[in-house]
Structure 1
Amino acid sequence: MKKILLYLISIVILNACSDEIPEYHQSARAKRVVLAYLVANNNLDNYIMKNVQWMYQSLSTAQDTCTLVVYYKPYSSNKYLETAEILEFQTDGYGKINGQEILQGTSLTVENVIAQAKHHQARLGIATDPDIMKENLRMMQDIAPAESYGLIFGSHASGWLPSPTAVQSRSFGWDGIQSNTIDIPELATTLEQSFPTGNLEFTLFDACMMGTAEVFYELRNATHYCVASVMETPVAGFPYDRFFINLYDKYIDYAKICSETVQFNKENNWWGTYAAVDCTAMEEVAQAIQAEILSHQSELQTLDYTQVQQYGYGQYQYFAFDVVDLISQLNGGVVSANVQSSIDKAVIAKDCLDGKEYPLVTLRIDPERFCGMGMYFPDRNISYTWDRYYQSSIAWYNAAGWNEIQP
């Protein structure tokens, strides 16, 4: 009788357990982890805090385990963080983040998102210092080991331009009242050393003016893909709530990132150009551009660069010209097959707003002349400081053949 009773009890217990969701055990290495390196010790702090909330909002829709690790350097007036911290968010795929119920509705606030994060002490110091950046990126990878990583950079920026200069260019980052920055060659080296196995799948720059051939070429050995705007960008940044979860996909829909951001800007009556570029294809772009430049040296001397589509406004005017439009005008309105083919391979997605309807003050972008990346036109007396730095520090200068142009 006892054996029968025990048998019946066992069946009841097993049936009762069969409908329960099994506890999720995280694997030692995720397929992809997204990292965000946010230098908000400046007047963008409130906007970048909102970006973290948007990332969380999209992350909360995950049907599987996904991890976001954020380095955040706050401004002194930040209400939720007093110093630089590393924030960790991990979904379990069953409606919880960090073991707590997902925030939604009126509970989905910046304050609650930061409170729900797992907090880790970051390496203190200037966020744009290469050694500080490398140490924090190492710590972030230790927190969340993965087969591959995506990296979002958020702050002020001014592309390949040197820092500091007479025009207060920022390159990438603005940490504190001294506007501490990191130049793009330094950034490329830092990323190569931080991801020595070459597993940085993409880098997304939520920052101004990073969408140039100079930047993409510098990063060719650091990251596979790069998402950026060649223009100054609206302060609100990318609409992460619309696409962030897709950054964990094996094959990322970069066209969606560009189109969703353009649509977001359109809804707010802003401006914008966005592109995703395969940085590993930039050597071929450089070779194609070099061939055109060297075969049109006489045309270079007489080309009116003010008629080429350019992407800079105010003090940044003429820092970048559309690559294809410049070559086209050099070649009598025709783009060579080699240049077009190389651009088609490198620019895997792009979108922009028509500058006639959505200008950046006086800067108007013609969608028909937007190829996805810009580049500088050196030695035109645009800026002596820019020219000197370009020749001495930017690898694209030699790669594109500018160093071989005869005066």
Structure 2
Amino acid sequence: MKKVLLYIVSLLILGACSDEIPGYHQSLRAKRVILAYLVANNNLDNYIMKNVQWMYQSLSTAQDTCTLVVYYKPYSSNKYLETAEILEFQTDGYGKINGQEVLTGSSLTTENVIAQAKHHQARLGIATDPNIMKENLRMMQDIAPAESYGLIFGSHASGWFPFLNALSRSFGQDGDENNTIDIPRLATTLEQSFPSGNLEFTLFDACMMGTAEVFYELRNATRYCVASAMETPALGFPYDRFFIDLYKDVIDYSKICSETIQFNKENNSWGTYAAVDCTAMGEVAQAIQSELLSHQSELQTLDYTQVQQYGYGQYKYFSFDVVDFISQLNGGVVPANVQNSMDKAVIAKDCLDGEEYPLMTLRIDPERFCGMGMYFPGRNISYTWDRYYQSSIAWYNAAGWDKIQP
């Protein structure tokens, strides 16, 4: 009788495992899993590799089961990976990752971190191709099922810009400079990759993503977004200081911003960072539209060179501080509808004083940093930018720029 029962139980166990995807193991459904999509097939590879080590370092302090899944597309000179792979790290809450003692001290090296990962074959191809991105994000979720996800993007970027030349990329650079993905396609890709709407946050470890154009485009893809309005230092975010906090039910986004600013300060860099509730961007758009339509004559004469802006070099005037822009339209006053909508959207922010920590000639005034920027179309800043902005960026119509008389 016991043999019969054992046989039946064995059949049930085999049946329960029959839906496993080959090459994967099915994890228990976690409350939250952090995914990192790192397009490092460029000159940031060494820095992004170090970022993975910092993530591991913070993850190793977990007192519960936590999972990190990393898609990594390496540069040709990478010593540890030859091709795109998906790396899995799972803590047990008792000092082990992937069943091995956590790496500490002199053992905590990038080489050892990559060696300790569970390696899965990624879908090969251009990492910024929407189909390749969707397939890899799907595989990452299959590896680590969860109620909610946080997603870190790491690579080169240039905000809402389309690909125009070697220095304008929207998001990502996979080898060739034109292997990038524009923000509308990125938003659609994320919506399709997380059809349950369970992408809790997206953190952009990339330049110039902290604009109203990006946040509004992502409003149906992710709840929160962490990004910088300006170019970011190559060192990236100090994940060793806050990464483990990303698994908490309520994330302290102020800590992420402040720790990153402190890290940049220690490294004599620059920086602006903000966390934005993308679902509140509709209300922001309505408030901005009301102000733009009420001040059409002032728009024609506004000296935009006096507005706090976030671009340097060829990016100069790509993005102006939203609140400072509206304030100057109103003679230095911020209307209540704008302030209220921004208070709902920008849930955390921090920056370095640009007088002490400038990016070359670009200086940020902390008193005029609201957390996000936006472009000023129709003033001949760039005909190419204007044409793309009008045809492709949803914020253009949402904020009422399409209604402004030339």
Paired residues of 2:166 and 2:178 also in contact (CA < 8 A): no
Instruction: For 1:151, give the aligned amino acid.
Output: L
Whether 2:158 is the aligned partner of 1:168: answer: no
Q: 1:179 offset after TM fit, Å? A: 3.9
- Secondary structure of 1:277 counterpart: strand
* 1:251 aligned partner, one-letter code: V
Q: After TM superposition, where is structure 1 displaced by more than 3 Å over at least 4 residues in a row?
A: none
Contact (CA 8 Å) 2:27, 2:143: kept in 1 or not? no
Q: Deviations over 1:8-34 (max 9, x none)?
A: xxxxxxxxxxxxxxxxxx972000000
Partner of 2:14: none
Cα distance in 1 for residues equivalent to 2:145 and 2:165: 42
CA distance in 2, matches of 1:52, 1:88: 11
Q: Which amino acid aligns with 2:191?
A: E
What is the deviation of 1:282? 0.1
Distance in 2 (CA, whole Å) between partners of 1:337 and 1:79 is 55
Q: Which ranges of structure 2 fall in alignment gaps of 5 or more residues? A: 1-25
| In structure 2, C-alpha distance between the alignment counterparts of 1:55 and 1:354, rounded to whole Å | 28
TM-score by length of 1: 0.93
Q: Is the 8 A contact 1:185 1:393 kept in 2?
A: yes
Aligned length: 381
Partner of 1:94: 94
Q: Give, as a single letter, the amino acid of the residue that structure 1 aligns with 2:367.
A: E
Residues 328-364 of structure 1, C-alpha deviations (whole Å, 9 max, x = no match): 0001110100000000000000000000000000000
Equivalent runs, 1:124-273 vs 2, <5 Å: 124-163=124-163, 165-166=164-165, 168-273=167-272
TM (norm. structure 2) is 0.93
1:13 aligned residue: none
1:126-175 superposed Cα distances (whole Å, 9 cap, x missing partner): 00000000000000000000000000000000000111x14731000000
Rate the CA distance shift 1:361–1:381 in 2: closer, same or farther, 3 A.
same
Residue 288 of structure 1 is matched in structure 2 by: 287
RMSD of equivalent CA atoms? 0.8
- Helix, strand or coil: the match of 1:180? coil
Aligned-partner SS, 1:301: helix
SS of match in other structure, 2:147: strand
Q: Does the C-alpha gap of structure 1 residues 235 and 63 become closer, same or farther in structure 2, counting only changes over 3 Å? A: same
> Partner residue of 2:386?
387
Q: Distance in 1 between matches of 2:361 and 2:398?
A: 33
Structure 1: how far apart are the matches of 2:254 and 2:69?
24
Q: Which protein has the larger Cα radius of gyration, Structure 1 or Structure 2?
A: 1
Distance 1:239 1:362 in 2: 25
Q: Secondary structure at the match of 1:379?
A: coil
Residue 274 (structure 1) aligns with: 273
How far apart, CA to CA, are the structure 2 residues paired with 1:374 and 1:144? Answer: 35
Distance 1:167 1:42 in 2: 12
Query: 1:115 & 1:383 partners in 2: Cα distance?
Result: 48
Code of the aligned partner of 1:131: N
Once the two structures are aligned, what percentage of the paired residues are identical?
Answer: 88
CA contact (8 A) 2:166 2:177 kept: no
- Asked whether the 8 Å contact 1:167–1:315 carries over to 2, the reply is no
Aligned mates of 1:328, 1:253 — CA distance in 2: 29
For residues 113-136 of structure 1, the C-alpha deviation after alignment (integer angstroms, 9 at most, x for no partner) is: 000000000000000000000000
| Unmatched tracts of structure 1, length 5 or more | 1-25
Residue 281 of structure 1, CA deviation: 0.1
2:218 is aligned with what amino acid?
Answer: L
1:68 aligns with 2:68: yes
